[in-house]
Amino acid sequence: MGTYYEFFAGGGMARSGLGPEWDCLFANDISEKKASAYKENWGGDHLHVGNVFDVKARQLPGHADLAWGSFPCQDLSLAGNGKGLDGERSGAFWGFWKLIRSLNREGRKPRVIVLENVYGTLTSHDGKDFEQIAKAVACEGYVFGAVVMDAVHFTPQSRPRLFIIGVDAGLAIPEHIHAWLPTPTWHPDAVIRAYNQLPLAAKTAWRWWNPPAPNQRTGILDDIIEADPAGVAWHTPQETKKLISMMTDLNRRKVMEAQRHGTVKVGTIYRRTREGGQRAEVRFDGVAGCLRTPAGGSSRQTIMVVDGPNVRTRLISPREMARLMGLPDTYRLPARYNDAYHLLGDGVVVPVVTHLNDHILSPILRNNQQLQDAANF
Tell me, what's the pLDDT at 82?
A: 60
Question: Over 236-273, what HEC string results?
Answer: CHHHHHHHHHCCCHHHHHHHHHHHHCCCCEEEEEEEEE
* Confidence grade of residue 285 (pLDDT, cut at 50, 70, 90): very high
- What is the rounded distance in angstroms from the CA atom of residue 138 to the CA atom of residue 224? 41
* The pLDDT value given to residue 85: 61
What's the pLDDT tens digit per position in 83-115?
A: 666 555 667 889 999 999 999 999 999 999 999
Quote the pLDDT of residue 107.
Answer: 96
Tell me the three state secondary structure of residue 68: strand
Domains in the chain (CATH in brackets) are 2-215+349-376 (3.40.50.150), 221-343 (3.90.120)
At 62-82, the pLDDT tens digits run 999 999 998 877 656 555 556
Is the confidence at residue 297, as pLDDT, over 60? no
Choose the weakest-confidence range: 78-92, 110-124, 195-209: 78-92
- Amino acid 296: pLDDT: 39
For residue 171, pLDDT beyond 80: yes
Contact 375, 350 (CB under 8 A): no
The pTM score is 0.93
Encode pLDDT of 308-333 as tens digits.
999 999 999 999 999 999 999 999 99
- Mean pLDDT score of the chain: 91
Whether 277 shows a pLDDT value over 90: the answer reads no
- In angstroms, the CA 176 to CA 185 distance is 15
Q: Place 124 in a pLDDT band, splitting at 50, 70 and 90.
A: confident
> Residue 14, exposed/middle/buried by CB under 10 A (0-12, 13-18, 19+)?
buried
